[in-house]
Structure 1
């Protein structure tokens, strides 16, 4: 037989339950508590050095790693200090804000600016990796982390890992997952657009010179080769990830006769007065090179120039946009 409580009886039962709960607390009986991390407002993440406890939604954030700025900007994360000298004009909300201290550049960092900001969290690494120990020693009150993609690891997986960690720290896990999904979709689209047989050459340009970027290990574009299954036009033993590109002659590039040339213009991200002497746009250098005139990529105008700011960003947004750009270029050929 079902038992139905009257409204008055229900209220009485609720009151009795509340009284018993209070009595239990007063008598010292253990009450169910939230996890320690939730109570303290922290989360344990695994950065490039191991496990570390960091605050969730920290009040004072210093970011030194260029690969995270797009994500922080999209999520409206405020900063107290940043390396404005290596940020170009990509993030004016940070570089133009006088309230955000300037840490300078990785070559001559103003580490005292970080100390003065008294941050709760410092996202170091990438260009500032050499200063990690010093930053950690000078800022004992802060959680100092490095989450930039690690050398020797799959770049795509590392970008997704970095984004997942940021999502945990700033309570944006769904947004982080969405960014990773967008990257996967962009890769799938670019991979489908590639015919599997055309040869590809990756280069960078700076100060009027064309440098070779090695498949897999080369800076910025190297990881794109395995991600899309590209057939390299040229593979050089002992190639490196040097940001200048390896010292391979333009004639050697021409002899490999690539069907496609994909280029990173290192000078394009900087204002003309800040560029190295002799710099010129990548498309002019490649198309105007006498040695490359008979190369298939030049003859058929199959040259893809990365976004001018890619050299500064190199995060998950930059790669998602790059794969989308490659899909469009290869589909249109």
Structure 2
């Protein structure tokens, strides 16, 4: 199987002098040259799976748990090949894909899945909106869906423009993630900083730690920041954990005294879309629509 995977890889990898590639696709780890359209694809990265689905590309293999509502139906039409963090190499080998897509939580498993088939890393970085459009274009080119990708990209640009207009002069925002009773905030340079970019709204607090898991804070911190808007992501709800909800965690006299709470400007974003598959096409559209609706109403 390893020998077969290496032989197949020569047809897809960048730098293969023996085969003239039809297309070079940008990935998170550099451009990769492809000699043809992949026919059977296993996808471990949910933003990628979301975008491929929007383009009309069906994955043959997917993670056992998909988390995101609009991806749930894919489980009945694709083989389970492990989890977001742990690929099942035996199941993957049995599927026999000619391409494996990893990214984000599964990016660290790229070398492992390459024992079975060629793999590309399509991680969405902190520049989420730009990366989302770049991945859409790359997948559109790879799977010969350029027209569809252009159509989807135009819609995405319209949605970004709409939320930017809705956020104009609406005050300062604070992005909060809850995890049971725990609170963390995220700034413009963080994984959720795209919310500030999309809305154009300034941060309610300066010098927020840019760590991937956010800057752990208390209710007092939120009160002192006194945001005009609170954008909230419930990690527990995103991953299906039981426990204290975001609403319960935030319901505190200190938070209730903020401008955001008193004005009804506390926006609970779709948790799985925001935490698991942000950057995927449909998830990103959903989140932009939620932000636009809340800011327009407010």
Instruction: Tell me the TM-score normalized by structure 1.
Output: 0.76
Which structure has the larger Rg over C-alpha atoms? 1
Residue 7 of structure 2 is matched in structure 1 by none
- Of structures 1 and 2, the one scoring higher in RCO (CA 8 A, sep 6+) is 2
Residue 77 of structure 1 is matched in structure 2 by 57
- Which of 177, 194, 200 is residue 173 of structure 2 equivalent to? 200
Q: Report how far residue 63 of structure 1 moved.
A: 0.6
Q: Report how far residue 197 of structure 1 moved.
A: 5.4
Q: Say whether 1:301 aligns with 2:264.
A: yes
Q: Deviations over 1:272-331 (max 9, x none)?
A: xx414x332x23432x22321211111111111112431222113222222222222112
Q: Say whether 1:312 aligns with 2:285.
A: no
Task: Give the 3-state SS of the residue equivalent to 2:232 in structure 1.
Answer: strand
Q: Report how far residue 88 of structure 1 moved.
A: 5.1
Q: Report how far residue 268 of structure 1 moved.
A: 2.3
Question: Aligned in 2, Cα 1:300/1:67: closer, same or farther, shift over 3 Å?
Answer: same
Question: Aligned in 2, Cα 1:46/1:107: closer, same or farther, shift over 3 Å?
Answer: closer
* Runs of at least 5 residues in structure 1 that lack an aligned partner in the other structure: 1-38
- Which of 116, 141, 150 is residue 125 of structure 2 equivalent to? 150
8 Å contact 1:44–1:51 — kept in the other structure? yes
Task: Give the 3-state SS of the residue equivalent to 1:104 in structure 2.
Answer: coil
Residue 256 of structure 1 is matched in structure 2 by 225
Question: Aligned in 2, Cα 1:237/1:73: closer, same or farther, shift over 3 Å?
Answer: closer
Instruction: Tell me the TM-score normalized by structure 2.
Output: 0.84
Alpha-carbon separation, structure 2, partners of 1:125 and 1:319: 16
Residue 48 of structure 1 is matched in structure 2 by 28
Task: Give the 3-state SS of the residue equivalent to 1:210 in structure 2.
Answer: strand
8 Å contact 1:214–1:241 — kept in the other structure? no
Question: Aligned in 2, Cα 1:182/1:42: closer, same or farther, shift over 3 Å?
Answer: same
Q: Say whether 1:106 aligns with 2:84.
A: yes
8 Å contact 2:87–2:113 — kept in the other structure? no
Question: Aligned in 2, Cα 1:324/1:157: closer, same or farther, shift over 3 Å?
Answer: same
Q: Say whether 1:275 aligns with 2:241.
A: yes
- Aligned CA RMSD, in angstroms, stands at 2.3
Alpha-carbon separation, structure 1, partners of 2:85 and 2:235: 17
Q: Report how far residue 55 of structure 1 moved.
A: 5.4
